[in-house]
């Protein structure tokens, strides 16, 4: 692991996080380990070394341009959910032929960008197909498309991150598959190259991926029987990470790929779309303690970071491990760790057994690389926090803090 403790201090690779906090002028901030990003990506490469495959990093998990450039440099493809993510991926140097555009509400402008750049496009619904057809006709340019199918396998995750069930807002109605096949057959600008599914996120059992893959392989057979030659099987992303640190056995990319290897048809290229498992454990969110208080029988540690910079605990009631970056000697108590935002939903962690810190003590929320900075907001006029990257003993700012002047410029209309 690239984050570890030595003599009571947290380290990121060769650097003491406390020293970084003292050097960085702003708090809170995000801190990434390049070695961890590389190790996570390499774990997928190793798992897939004997398989025709595209690793499509899900840009939605974390869209920092420097991190995207590192991933494209390692050979990753990209998985996109908006036109802006497509433009950013171009800037990051991704090969857009190894890139997929997902989404249940793609706009005509977004589709035009995707068609122009030869991005693989997932068909999500009847209207989405119509919009894709409208775009290819207007540009007189063909498009390679996949059909997003809901295998209806329960991913056993929070309902907000479950995306592949029958009643999901994503994907086609499976009973209408033949209608989609006929439409595509009659359209000489559409090339049906594969099928796609995405079951959900934070999945901890490989059996779930295997069950879904079996179903998707059956769908491929149906499509082949109808005269098509689908060669991409896209099983989405979704592998969980060890947020809980409870010693639970979280499957690795190799466990995932090994669990489906024997059922993969020979001629296909597998596409996987990992986000969280590439970037999630590669960062911590670094805060300072503003103060400690007690109300009724509840104790609170109040930090300068909040739900505005890291909303996952408030949004999904999820657990992210919290620890101090330096030795703390105070009395051990049970605390809610909360931010300064004017909402009772503003918490980073609940009921944590921690020693009582003094003001200014450094505290981190762990596993903060995925869906944390990417989901930050200006609520309570909090500014988007800066991001720093550690590579060995080198610290680089990879995104400056947003300032109030940046914000005020939006009103120069
Ligand atoms: C279509 C699609 N692919 C891939 C992902 C990435 O999932 P994860 O970050 O859990 O790997 C998501 C995220 O929910 C998604 O919606």
Percent above pLDDT 70 for the chain:
100
Percent above pLDDT 90 for the chain:
91
Give the least confident one: 14-18, 166-170, 243-247. 166-170
> Band of the pLDDT at 37, cuts 50, 70, 90?
very high
Q: Closest Cα to atom 13, ligand 1: which residue? A: 201
Q: Is the pLDDT of residue 153 over 80?
A: no
- Do residues 92 and 136 touch, judged by C-beta distance below 8 A? no
Distance in Å, CA 321 to ligand 1 centroid: 22
Cα separation, 306 vs 153, whole angstroms: 35
> Band of the pLDDT at 158, cuts 50, 70, 90?
confident
- Do residues 119 and 165 touch, judged by C-beta distance below 8 A? no
- Do residues 151 and 212 touch, judged by C-beta distance below 8 A? yes
- Residue-level pLDDT at 160: 79
- Do residues 122 and 110 touch, judged by C-beta distance below 8 A? no
Which of 59, 61, 122, 147 to mutate to test ligand 1, by most ligand atoms within 8 A of the CB atom? 61
Distance in Å, CA 16 to ligand 1 centroid: 32
pTM above 0.85, yes or no: yes
- Residue-level pLDDT at 85: 98
* Length of the chain (residues): 413
Q: Is the pLDDT of residue 63 over 80?
A: yes
- Residue-level pLDDT at 25: 87
- CB-defined site of ligand 1, < 6 Å: 58, 60-61, 79, 102, 163, 198, 201, 236-239, 273-277, 370
Q: What is the pLDDT of residues 160-217, one digit of tens each?
A: 777 777 888 888 988 899 999 999 999 999 999 999 999 988 999 999 999 999 999 9
Cα separation, 268 vs 51, whole angstroms: 9
- Residue-level pLDDT at 263: 96
- Residue-level pLDDT at 389: 98
Which whole number is the average pLDDT over 233-252? 93
**Bond from prior residue into 239 cis (ω within 30 degrees of 0):** no
Token readout for 351 is 């009921």
Binning the chain into helix, strand and coil, the percentages to the nearest 5 are 35, 25, 40
Backbone angles phi, psi at 284, to 5 degrees: -125, 155
For residue 397, indicate whether it is catalytic.
no
- Do residues 368 and 284 touch, judged by C-beta distance below 8 A? yes
Distance in Å, CA 160 to ligand 1 centroid: 12
Q: What is the pLDDT of residues 285-326, one digit of tens each?
A: 999 999 999 999 999 999 999 999 999 999 999 999 999 999
Give the least confident one: 126-135, 168-177, 368-377. 168-177
Q: Which is higher by pLDDT, 159 or 29?
A: 29
Q: Which one is catalytic: 197, 342, 372, 397? A: 342
């Amino acid at each position: 692991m690239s984050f570890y403790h030595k003599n009571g201090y947290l380290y990121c690779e060769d650097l003491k996080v406390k020293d970084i906090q003292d050097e960085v002028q702003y708090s809170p901030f995000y801190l990434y380990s390049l070695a961890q990003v590389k190790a996570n990506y390499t774990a997928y490469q190793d798992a897939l070394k004997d398989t025709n495959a595209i690793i499509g990093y899900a840009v939605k998990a974390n869209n920092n341009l420097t991190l995207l450039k590192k991933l494209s440099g390692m050979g990753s493809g990209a998985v996109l959910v908006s036109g802006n993510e497509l433009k950013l991926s171009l800037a990051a140097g991704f090969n857009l032929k190894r890139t997929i555009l997902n989404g249940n509400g793609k706009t005509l402008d977004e589709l035009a960008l995707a068609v122009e750049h030869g991005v693989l496009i997932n068909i999500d619904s009847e209207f989405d197909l119509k919009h894709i057809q409208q775009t290819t006709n207007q540009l007189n340019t063909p498009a390679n498309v996949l059909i997003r199918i809901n295998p209806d396998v329960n991913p056993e995750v929070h309902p907000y991150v479950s995306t592949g069930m029958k009643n999901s807002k994503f994907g086609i109605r499976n009973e209408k598959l033949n209608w989609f096949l006929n439409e595509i057959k009659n359209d000489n600008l559409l090339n049906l190259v594969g099928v796609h599914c995405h079951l959900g996120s934070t999945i901890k059992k490989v059996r779930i991926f295997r069950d879904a893959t079996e179903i998707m392989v059956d769908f491929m057979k149906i499509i082949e029987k109808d005269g098509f030659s689908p060669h991409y099987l896209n099983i989405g992303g979704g592998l969980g990470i060890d947020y809980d640190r409870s010693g639970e056995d979280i499957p690795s990319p190799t466990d995932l790929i090994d669990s489906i290897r024997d059922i993969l048809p020979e001629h296909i290229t597998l596409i996987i779309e990992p986000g969280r498992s590439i970037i999630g454990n590669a960062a911590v969110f670094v805060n300072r303690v503003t103060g400690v208080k007690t109300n009724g029988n509840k104790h609170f540690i109040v930090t300068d970071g909040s739900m505005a910079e890291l909303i996952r605990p408030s949004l999904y009631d999820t657990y992210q491990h919290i620890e101090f970056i330096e030795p703390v000697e105070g009395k051990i108590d049970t605390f809610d760790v909360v931010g300064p935002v004017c909402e009772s939903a503003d918490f980073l962690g609940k009921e944590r057994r921690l020693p009582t810190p003094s003001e200014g003590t450094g505290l981190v929320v762990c596993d903060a690389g995925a869906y944390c900075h990417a989901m930050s907001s200006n609520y309570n006029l909090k500014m988007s926090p800066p991001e720093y990257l550690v590579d060995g003993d080198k610290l680089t700012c990879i995104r400056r803090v947003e300032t109030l002047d940046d914000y005020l410029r939006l009103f120069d209309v």
